[in-house]
Amino acid sequence: MGLAITFIFFVIICRLLYVQLCWSDELILRATDQWNREIPVIAERGTITDRNGVVLAGNRSTFSVFLRPNAVSDAEFTSTVLSGIFGADQQKLLEKIKNGKVSEITVARQTEKQDVEKLVSYNLPGVYYARDNSRSYAYGDALCQVLGFTASDGSGVTGAEKYYDNILCGSNGEITYSTDIVGIETEDSTVVYREATAGDSVKLTIDIDIQLSVEEAIKTAYIEKQAKSASCVVLDPQNFEILAMANYPSYDLNEIPRDDTETLNRLTRNLIVCDIYEPGSTFKVITAAANIEEYLQGNSRAFSNSYIFNSSRTRTVDGTKIKCWSSHENGKHANQTLAMALNNSCNPCFTDIALSLGSETFYRYLQNFGFGNVTGLDFSGEALGMLIPQSAVRDCDLARIGFGQTVAVTGVQLACAVAAAVNGGNYYIPHLLKSVVSADGKTVKDNAPILKNKVISGEASQILAEMLEGVVTAGSGTHAYIEGYRVGGKTGTAQKYEDGHVAQGKYVSSFAGFFPADNPKYLALVIIDEPQGTYYGSTVAAPVAKQIFEDIINLKNIQPYV
């Protein structure tokens, strides 16, 4: 019995030591919390600007209103006043006050200053307010899928607001004061103020002037062609900074359709990054790049620039007949070199290249150019694209991949791949973040370009760029030609598939263009989904790119070549 009593006392002493030494800090906080109340001080959210410091997403001061049921002296009157000012359901609010199961009720968020002034005039016991922030977007629907928006509590929900939320959000503060046991402030209450820390600002690579030009161009194309959607991305091929990115239809960031989930999900989707499509002939740029580089490296299976491809307009691979879009009678297949094949967008020539290089060599280039994987863009929800595993690819598949079928890409994937093909062969990780700036204006972080890999040599890239300039001056891309400026590019027209079958009358028209062709500074990929009437990329997408390039020339005062 003596041993038992000794053991029991030992356990009690150990427990006391644990409570006093190990658990003491937490218990002190709990006790303090019972006799103190906190009003949050919301941190000012960092702004989002374009590359030149133009504010795209800023703040306007609003307020949150809270209620502590235990401190309310007249539940009926309080609920009536609050419902009248803030539009809350009076009966539900009254029930919450009388219920007493919660210590605090949020009455309203992001309410205007004049409403709070009305509230103050009533001097209601148990009702408090604190400043919060409401996001304000300077350009309405411009950049809506890129910027994204915030929730009622100020946290990022989509786009850059979500991706860089940890930078933008800052750190909230609070006002603490002592109360009695039911939560009513005591007469000798000591008020303690802990200041909020404002969030850092995010400077994007976006150029708002170019962005607005792109927005207008694709909106016009969408309306004129009665398309399902229109998208465009403009980037700097020398470092893969995103200068503009837009999709239409769009929505106003200051009037978000939060009550219509289906519409909101559809309009907030950044098609350039999150959706995939079969690229069609724009993909021939990659096939041509692989062939030119392999020829320069001495691969006997690659074709020289002077090689004359078989003039037949068809090829049969694994029993599957592959046709070119043009007829033989118009002479487009006679004495056709690689440059001419690009000009004429001849499918059989690129079938020959893909099959001759073989799956091992061709897939090495596809992977180096980023297909079948994300680019690493700093944006949530980037799609992988679709690329048949090399181990499963058949000759008929390889042949079609050569001219942009049986492969699916995102817009940003293709734009980056074409940029790498014509900029000297350098593939960078694309990015939207240019720098992070603190609340006091100091640069916290500069986001330098990151070279991912070298896809082709500078010599091969120069040869390809010259060929693609020929596409614009004398080939299928003439609708993108600008007098006095060296523009290169490639058109694309791809049939759409639904449930594994060709969808009759549904096409994706596209154009990937860049200038100056000898030293690219701007590259634009235009995608028009399901245009009505004329659907060729040469007549639907190329003119849109031309309009954007002309606007850039005027905005940046770029002089023509003499």
Residues that are catalytic: 281
Alpha helices, H only, 423-492: 458-474
Beta-carbon contacts of 177 under 8 Å, excluding residues fewer than 6 positions away, are: 36, 37, 185, 189, 190, 191, 192
Q: Which of 337, 336, 335 is nearest to 306 (CA)?
A: 337
Q: Across 32-76, where does the E strand assignment appear?
A: 36-41, 48-49, 55-67
Beta-carbon contacts of 85 under 8 Å, excluding residues fewer than 6 positions away, are: 115, 118, 119
Alpha helices, H only, 427-501: 458-474
Query: For residue 439, what is the DSSP state?
Result: T
Helix (H, G, I), strand (E, B) or coil at 430: coil
CB atoms within 10 A of CB 500: 5
CA atoms within 13 A on the CB side of 357: 31
For the record, the structure tokens of 142 come out as 């411009």
For the record, the structure tokens of 550 come out as 């002309």
For the record, the structure tokens of 330 come out as 């118009």
Dihedral pair phi/psi, residue 29, rounded to 5°: -65, -40
Beta-carbon contacts of 338 under 8 Å, excluding residues fewer than 6 positions away, are: 288, 291, 292, 303, 305, 307, 309, 349, 467
How far apart, in whole angstroms, are the C-alpha atoms of residue 397 and residue 419? Answer: 25
Helix axes 458-474, 411-422, angle to 10 degrees: 110
For the record, the structure tokens of 363 come out as 């897939």
For the record, the structure tokens of 199 come out as 């969030």
Amino acid at site 316: T
Residue 498 bridge partners (DSSP): 501
Residue-wise over 260-272: b if at least 16 C-beta within 10 A, else e?
Answer: eeeebeebbbbbb
How far apart, in whole angstroms, are the C-alpha atoms of residue 309 and residue 299? Answer: 17
For the record, the structure tokens of 531 come out as 């245009």
Amino acid at site 145: Q
- Cβ contact 208:54 at 8 Å: yes
Beta-carbon contacts of 21 under 8 Å, excluding residues fewer than 6 positions away, are: none
Q: Which of 152, 128, 140 is nearest to 69 (CA)?
A: 128
Residues in the chain: 562
